[in-house]
Amino acid sequence: GGAGFGMVELCIVTEEMGRALLCAPYFSTTVLAASAILNAGTEAQKSRLLPGLASGARLATLAVTELDGNWDPRGIELVATPVAEGYLLDGAKSYVVDGHVADLLVVAARMAGTAGHQGLALFTLGADSAGVERRLLESMDPTRKLARIDFHGAHANLLGNQDDGAQPLIRTLDQAAIALANEMVGGAQAMLDSAVDYAKLRVQFGRTIGSFQAIKHKCADMLLDVELAKSAAYYAAQAAAIDDPQWPAMANLAKAAASETYLRTAAECIQIHGGIGFTWDNDTHLWFKRAKSSEVFLGQPNYHRELLMQRWGVCVGEFE
Under 8 Å between Cβ of 255 and 297: no
Burial 224-250 (b: 16+ CB within 10 A, else e): ebbeebbebbbbbbbbbbeebeebbbb
57 binds a second copy (CB under 8 A): no
Helix (H, G, I), strand (E, B) or coil at 23: coil
CA-wise closest residue to 272 among 230, 224, 203, 218: 218
Closest distance to another protein from the beta carbon of 159 (Å)? 24
CB of 133 to another protein, least distance (A): 16
Binding mask 194-213 for a second copy (x = CB under 8 A): ------------------xx
Residue from 214, 281, 315, 318 binding a second copy (CB under 8 A): 214
| CA nearest neighbour of 120 among 87, 175, 162 | 162
State whether residue 225 is helix, strand or coil. Answer: helix
- Shortest gap between Cβ of 296 and a second copy (angstroms)? 22
Closer residue to another protein, CB minimum distance, 247 or 288: 288
Residue 143 binds to another protein (criterion: CB under 8 A): no
Q: Residue 84: CB partners within 8 Å, gap ≥ 6?
A: none
Q: Is residue 5 near a second copy by the rule CB under 8 A?
A: no
Binding residues among 4-63 for another protein as defined by CB under 8 A: none
**98 interacts with another protein by CB under 8 A:** no
Rule CB under 8 A: is residue 55 a binding residue for a second copy?
Answer: no
Q: Would you count residue 231 as binding another protein (CB under 8 A)? A: yes
Paired residues of 133 in beta bridges: 150
Q: Does residue 196 bind another protein (CB under 8 A)?
A: yes
Q: What angle do CA 278, 28, 294 make, to 5 degrees?
A: 35
Residue of 43, 85, 163, 281 interacting with another protein (CB under 8 A): 281
217 binds a second copy (CB under 8 A): yes
Q: How far is the CB of 188 from a second copy (least distance, A)?
A: 23
Say what the alpha-carbon torsion angle 207, 211, 213, 218 is, to the nearest 10 degrees: 120
100 counts as binding another protein under rule CB under 8 A: no
